[in-house]
Structure 1
Amino acid sequence: MSLVSIKNLTRVFDVSKPWLNRVIERLPKRMLTAVSDVSFEIPARTTYALVGESGSGKSTIGKMVVGLLRPSEGTVEIEGIDLFAETDPAKIERVRSDIQMIFQDPFASLNPRWRVRDIITEPVTARGGSAEGLAERLLEQVGLSAEDAAKYPHQFSGGQRQRLCVARALASEPKLIVCDEPTSALDVSVQAQVLNLMSDLKDQHGLTYLFISHDLTVVRHMADTIGVLYLGRLVEEAPPEVLFTRPAHPYTAMLIDAAPRLDAFGREVIPPEGEIPDPIDPPKGCAFHPRCPLATGICKSERPKLEPFGPGRVACHHAGQIELTSAA
């Protein structure tokens, strides 16, 4: 059984004007579908990466997985337990203690008034556990000094603060860590250090990651499986060695072609064409068809289903018919 099982996950936000304004201006309700009918599994001790442009629903899925947002429809099961449907407090508490999250901004996710020792040990002390020497041990595991436990967050650089966030996530000995753009606020060289650290800790502690990123190149060497989101829907899912060499969906190929590469200095980068449609009023049929070079009549009228394709899955009427403009 998979550690994480997500089925038909949907989240709708009401972005309407206040009731009185709607009555006076005779306006209808406006509903934004941030995530629509997303399903995937994450086996234990593996890394599943969600990628896509801003506004594709990645972070919303991450918040629903850790329980910060309630799904409008569908289920999120961790170790076979749905946190939003389970009624046994003991089971809920056990599963919650197995989940942690690393946020995007290391400057905003650490309390500036707390010492590092208190920040790291909070997940344990909040449940009444013993945290003697815990912060010092974890600081050394993430490449910092045990003496740093007495310092405050402002005394650290961005990369060091993200290491503190990793140490805090490890404090409760979780099985699943949701990483929401954990390196996007860092310099490229520091990104590599943090990613290598997270990869090493995954092996040491037997962790499972849900890794959220807008950058395919960041997750290429981290993920066991990559899911590509577009306008709240999963459009392709495949192992990285397949996704980067034989992308089945035109959107995936567009992202790969636009990504920077070390072996292609001076190459002209073709930016993704067009913009993501309005999620309040998405196009009929395949949501990607206004930007797709392969779009035909069926794409404009019929939404493709996510179906098995090779070692992965794809939602496209013309799956596998597009080629990369350059070797991956």
Structure 2
Amino acid sequence: MNLVSIKNLTRVFDVSKPWLNRVIERLPKRMLTAVSDVSFEIPERTTYALVGESGSGKSTIGKMVVGLLRPTSGNVEIDGVDLVTESDAAVIDRIRTDIQMIFQDPFASLNPRWRVRDIIAEPVAARGGNTDGLAERLLEQVGLSADDVNKYPHQFSGGQRQRLCVARALASEPKLIVCDEPTSALDVSVQAQVLNLMSDLKEVHGLTYLFISHDLTVVRHMADTIGVLYLGRLVEEASPDALFTTPAHPYTAMLIDAAPRLDAFGREVEPPEGEIPDPIDPPKGCAFHPRCPLATDICSAERPTLQPFNGGRVACHHAGQVALKGAA
């Protein structure tokens, strides 16, 4: 059963200059499409990872899923309830108790003036729940000491602070946790500890993760399904094994080739060509065609749609014609 169902999700931002400046300078409105027509599903107790370059729309999707941003169009269904169209406040409130988010920066996402006990218990206390012993129990679950409940965030290391964020996310017993680059601000050794903790907690609590990351090495070991975003659109979706061995989209292959590999010391790989286009004025047709080595006339004229391919989905006119440059 799918816990999350995202359908045709789109978010457009107005990045125009103030009205008076536009009138004086005779400038039109400028609209930035951060996410465009994205659809995917997340079955219960699985991890769906979103990857892509900075500016591809990963975090915007995460914020729309948890309700921090309202979609311009499309639907976000959690446990069968569409949070975009649902009008019953009680139903929305019930579903939102099942959703939590772990943010990228553990230094900024914790209130520096609150003690750990108050930080962890806040999601439960805000709804009048019983918080007796809650913080102590959750601290031990995430590998910290119950004696830390009276400390402040500045008394912890970066990895320990992220464990506090995990404990806070678990406090309301959620079904879905959106993880927005949860380890990017941490050292490599600490990243592994936090990721192992999250994997263990997923099994113990039956959690479902939407895992947002730019680190392909991380998502390869964390995800059950990986979605690749480019300029706000989903260009490929596949299992980790399929994605890393036989990528169907040239952008996916470019990302994999650019990623560091322990088994390929000294290899020479050409760096990715070009930069992600201006999302305010994207290229016509396939947005990746200016950087694509396989591009033909149809790529600049016609935008490909997501189609089933080798057990996954891909949006490419030349799907399956990709070869990894860095393959052993």
Q: TM-score w.r.t. structure 2 length?
A: 0.99
Map of 1:116-265 to 2, 5 A cutoff?
Answer: 116-265=116-265
Segment drifting more, 258-267 vs 223-232:
258-267
RMSD of aligned residue pairs (Cα, Å): 0.8
How far 1:91 moved relative to its partner?
A: 0.9
Taking the aligned partners of 2:285 and 2:323, their CA distance within structure 1 comes to 23
Question: Which residue pairs with 1:37 in the alignment?
Answer: 37
Taking the aligned partners of 2:37 and 2:87, their CA distance within structure 1 comes to: 25
Q: Cα deviation per residue 1:229-250 (whole Å; 9 max; x = unaligned)?
A: 0000000000000000000000
Q: Which residue of 2 aligns with 1:293?
A: 293
Q: Which runs of 5+ in 1 are unaligned?
A: none
Distance in 2 separating the partners of 1:268 and 1:163? 38
2-side partners of 1:102 and 1:79: how far apart? 20
Q: Where do residues 80-91 of structure 1 align in structure 2 (5 Å cutoff)?
A: 80-91=80-91
* Residues 246-287 of structure 1, C-alpha deviations (whole Å, 9 max, x = no match): 000000000000001111222224322110000000000000
Query: Any conservation in 1 of the 2:44–2:207 contact (CA below 8 Å)?
Result: yes
**Aligned mates of 1:327, 1:276 — CA distance in 2:** 24
- What amino acid maps onto 1:139 in structure 2? L
Return the letter of the residue paired with 1:260. Answer: P
Aligned counterpart, 2:72: 72
C-alpha distance in 2, partners of 1:81/1:37? 19
Deviation at 1:82, TM superposition (A): 1.4
Aligned to 1:315: 315
Given that residues 3 and 42 in structure 2 are in contact (C-alpha distance below 8 angstroms), is that contact kept between their aligned partners in structure 1? yes
3-state secondary structure, aligned to 2:275: coil
Counterpart amino acid of 2:131?
A: A
Counterpart of 2:5 in 1: which secondary structure?
strand
| Equivalent position SS for 1:11 | strand
CA shift, 1:191, in A, is 0.5
CA distance in 2, matches of 1:252, 1:20: 43
Output the CA distance in 1 between the equivalents of 2:160 and 2:179.
16
CA distance in 2, matches of 1:274, 1:33: 20
Identity %: 88
The C-alpha deviation readout for 1:52-109, integer Å capped at 9, x for no partner, is 0000000000000000000001000001111221111221111000000000000000
1-side partners of 2:304 and 2:41: how far apart? 20
What's the CA shift for 1:327? 2.5
Q: Which amino acid aligns with 2:268?
A: E
What SS is found at the alignment partner of 1:50? strand
Cα 1:151–1:269, aligned 2, differ >3 Å: closer, same or farther?
farther
Match of 1:275 in 2: 275
Distance 1:245 1:84 in 2: 37
Question: What is the CA deviation profile of residues 262-316 of structure 1, one whole-angstrom value per residue up to 9, with x for unaligned ones?
Answer: 1122222432211000000000000000000000000000000000001100000
How many residue pairs align between the two structures? Answer: 328
What is the CA–CA distance in structure 2 between the aligned matches of 1:274 and 1:326, rounded to whole Å?
19
Secondary structure of 1:211's counterpart equals strand
Residue 265 of structure 1 aligns with an amino acid whose one-letter code is F
Report the secondary structure of 1:263's partner residue. Answer: coil
- Measure, in 2, the Cα distance between the counterparts of 1:308 and 1:81: 26
Please identify, of 259-268 and 110-119, the stretch whose mean Cα deviation from structure 2 is larger: 259-268
Contact 2:5/2:77 (8 A) holds in 1: yes
1:22 equivalent in alignment to 2:22: yes
| Distance in 1, Cα, partners of 2:326 & 2:30 | 41
Contact 2:57–2:229 (8 Å) recurs in 1: yes
Q: Deviations over 1:117-171 (max 9, x none)?
A: 1000000000000100000010000000000111000000000000000000000
CA distance in 1, matches of 2:268, 2:165: 37
> Partner of 1:94 in structure 2?
94
Structure-2 residue corresponding to 1:9: 9
Distance in 1 of aligned mates of 2:9 and 2:273: 28
**AA partner of residue 296 (structure 1):** T
Q: Which amino acid aligns with 1:134?
A: L
Greater CA deviation, 115-124 or 261-270? Answer: 261-270
Amino acid at match of 2:276: I
Distance 1:270 1:126 in 2: 52
Deviates more, 1:264-273 or 1:193-202: 264-273
